[in-house]
Chain A
Amino acid sequence: MKRFRVSVQTEDFDVGEALKWLRQGLPEIGALACFVGTVRDINEGQAVRAMTLEHYPGMTERSLEEIIQQAASRFDIVSAMIIHRVGPLNPEDQIVLAAATSAHRQQAFLACEFLMDYLKTEAPFWKKEDTPAGAQWVAARDSDDSAKSRWNED
């Protein structure tokens, strides 16, 4: 891997700038896969008016770097990036960007999914939703654990 970056930030991010940074000056790249997660206005059937994301400063950044290193050891990727926002967010806001590049599409697609599956279960972030019933911490989903475990089958 020739280039990687992680960022945990309160401010919004520009997807176009992020994708440009991943590719610029690396002509061996032929594929770029990018995932952007956004705030929904409904979760588990309940309206979500806003949310707040908490993290563990220091550990979170290190965890994201380790996830990228693991992806680089498993997939033939040229560059990778994870941006994750923290603090107060509203429906439609961007929360997370995970992206990877490679010579051909398969490795970039796989690495991008791997980044998100590991981020969902290993990176210390916690969501608290503001709903009509009051503010509540989001419960972890079993489906996220099974999404991660599929990478251990081979």
Chain B
Amino acid sequence: MTVKVRFFAGFREALGTDCLEIEEPFSPATVAGLRQHLISNHAGFAQLMALGGRVRAAVNHDMAEDDTPVATADEVAFFPPVTGG
């Protein structure tokens, strides 16, 4: 499983990076499974999630939910609620 993870806005700044490559398998193979994997393996991401703010995700450029499947070669993004307009 190779998944590209991207971060935007406040998440990108808090983590000090806009992109991570995840090589290890995670279970379940969903947005929630990937988020838990990141919490367990990246202290910065764990701290960010511990703040308790709302988190949105996208898989391959489509807005996603916790149970959205994630497969190898997918691009998954995590970001705060959007504020355009």
Contact = CB atoms under 8 A, between A and B. Distances in A.
Contacts of B81: 121, 139-140
Question: Chain B: interface residue count, which band?
Answer: 10 to 19
B84 A120 contact: yes
A122 B63 contact: yes
Given A126-B8, A140-B54, A58 B61 contact: yes
Contact of B8 (A96, A123, A124, A140): A124
Contacts of A40: none
Contacts of B85: 37, 84, 95-96, 116, 119-120, 123, 125
Contacts of B83: 125-127, 137-140
A53 interface: yes
B33 interface: no
Most interface-central of B9, B58, B85 (chain A CB within 10 A): B85
Contacts of B58: 56, 59, 124
A87 to B, nearest CB: 13
B10 A125 contact: no
A119 B77 CA distance: 18
Given A54-B9, A59-B77, A137-B9, A123 B84 contact: yes
A5 interface: no
Interface of A: 37, 53-56, 58-59, 62-63, 84, 95-96, 116, 119-128, 137-140
Interface of B: 6, 8-10, 54, 58, 61-63, 77, 79-85
